[in-house]
Chain A
Amino acid sequence: EADIYQTPRYLVIGTGKKITLECSQTMGHDKMYWYQQDPGMELHLIHYSYGVNSTEKGDLSSESTVSRIRTEHFPLTLESARPSHTSQYLCASSEWGLSKNIQYFGAGTRLSVL
């Protein structure tokens, strides 16, 4: 079934640890996105990708990095987690084309850095 998957759903980790949030989609979409959302606040775009080997920073500055080696996979990495990174991270994907400008979201990863 075509879907977008995020793992883990919840992560509690200590300061200084390296973490990778996984995002995979089986929808055949070229475009993928990462959003960060603090409680009660809007979603902020932190990274996006048009396709393989394409990554761009979003509107909100983030210390995380991303890679896009395969079309279906768009992992997000924090080299050294800090309490300020505590947030919810949402992955999304979409197709190319004016009529296909709809983003499909994963269930999200709630990250807590102690």
Chain B
Amino acid sequence: AQRVTQPEKLLSVFKGAPVELKCNYSYSGSPELFWYVQYSRQRLQLLLRHISRESIKGFTADLNKGETSFHLKKPFAQEEDSAMYYCALSENYGGATNKLIFGTGTLLAVQP
């Protein structure tokens, strides 16, 4: 069955430290992977998607099909990065449904 695993419920780092939020997935087809973010008192929004291959707010994520991972990285954390981060997988890549399967989320807390 398709599944997205985020092993850390909470990740606490100091400002300026590197950040890596882990995401592993299981999927039999060719997945599309996303990172969504929810800042305090804001709605859930897209941070980045693997097919875009771009850096958003200093974050990058590379799809590693061999390790079935899509870890989110940032070299130097900022306090404004504190938020809840969800990794998500889209079923039926290229198909009609675009249903998302979410992980349980990781709360990133960046300490001053």
Query: Measuring CB to CB, which residues of chain A are less than 8 angstroms from any residue of chain B?
Result: 31, 33, 35, 40-45, 48, 50, 58-59, 90, 94, 96, 98, 101-108
A41 touches B101 (CB 8 A): no
A96 cross-chain contacts in B, Cβ below 8 A: 96
B46 touches A102 (CB 8 A): yes
B90 cross-chain contacts in A, Cβ below 8 A: 101
Give the CA-CA distance A42 to B45 in the complex, in Å.
Answer: 15
A42 touches B86 (CB 8 A): yes
B43 cross-chain contacts in A, Cβ below 8 A: 105-108
Give the CA-CA distance A9 to B64 in the complex, in Å.
Answer: 39
Q: Is B102 positioned at the interface, with any CB of A under 8 Å from its CB?
A: yes
A31-B98, A43-B86, A50-B96 known; A105-B45 Cβ under 8 A: yes
A105 touches B104 (CB 8 A): no
B103 cross-chain contacts in A, Cβ below 8 A: 42
A45 touches B104 (CB 8 A): no
A42 touches B102 (CB 8 A): yes
A50-B96, A94-B98 known; A41-B44 Cβ under 8 A: no
9 contacts between A and B (CB under 8 A): A33-B100, A35-B102, A43-B100, A48-B97, A50-B96, A90-B44, A94-B98, A103-B100, A107-B43
Give the CA-CA distance A94 to B36 in the complex, in Å.
Answer: 14
Nearest CB in chain A to that of B32: its residue = A101
Within 8 A of A (CB), among B59-111: 86, 90, 94, 96-105
Q: A49 to chain B: closest CB distance in Å? A: 11
